[in-house]
Amino acid sequence: MIKSGRSRKLSVEEEMLIMAVIIMTGTSQGIGAAMAHVLLERGHRLVGISRRRNDALIQAFPTELVCMEADLADTAGLGPLMERIFQQMGTDEERVCLVNNAAVLAPLRNAEQCDSAEIARHMQINLIAPMILTSLFAKHTSGLRGEKRVLNISSGSARYLLPGMSCYCTAKAGLDTFTACVGLEQQNKEYPLQIASVWPGMNETQMQEEARRQDGGFQNAEMFIEAKKNGRLHSPDETARKLADLLLGESFPHGTIVESLY
């Protein structure tokens, strides 16, 4: 593991010399929407996967953005989805990236208070879908000689555990472990992909609003309320820029968990 996500940032001019095609989940809101905007603004092509279309992004970037509406809990549909994406992309891209960003927070209750359907849906979206998408990405790009990168958006909750967040903490810990394992698997490949996981910190997003609600029975809501009051939340726009720099920077932290962007 490494403690910082700081690497030499490429200038916009340098970055534009190697344009990327980026597949990203969860682009309809929060950090995902902000990061998608940053990447598109820099001239990269983006395939956004989310349950809802991001009409603002579509209007701003009608030629660079392709939106795919999908429910990541429907893991059986991920294979056909990636097949369609790679058929449209072609196989001669110089730089291809996957960003597993989509996540849910609920259920925010102790384990015995969660029903089986809630637990299953949470793990399908937060852990199983990123694993499957990474596997499919690796298969589809196995013969590509260009640069291939996977960035998994994880959380400090993988290590810093809270009551009422057993599903979320477990999924993020699993995502970090999966990242490290795939990193090891790629070491001896002829055309390896690079993979890393990152903790983006606490950001003012819809997920934070959900954690602050006191009507849902989440026993640690007050901690999140205090974080907002004390100005401890990062701006999603600033975090998005740092994530974009990490994804496309000159040195990518392959096989590691980046614990701090700031």
Active site residues: 168
Q: Do 123 and 114 form a contact (C-beta atoms < 8 A)?
A: no
CA dist 200 and 185 (Å) reads 25
CB atoms within 10 A of CB 9: 16
Strand residue runs (E) in 105-232: 147-153, 194-198
Q: Do 104 and 122 form a contact (C-beta atoms < 8 A)?
A: yes
Residue with the two structure tokens 């597993």: 100
CA dist 10 and 18 (Å) reads 11
Residues near 241 by beta carbon (within 8 Å), at least 6 away in sequence: 38
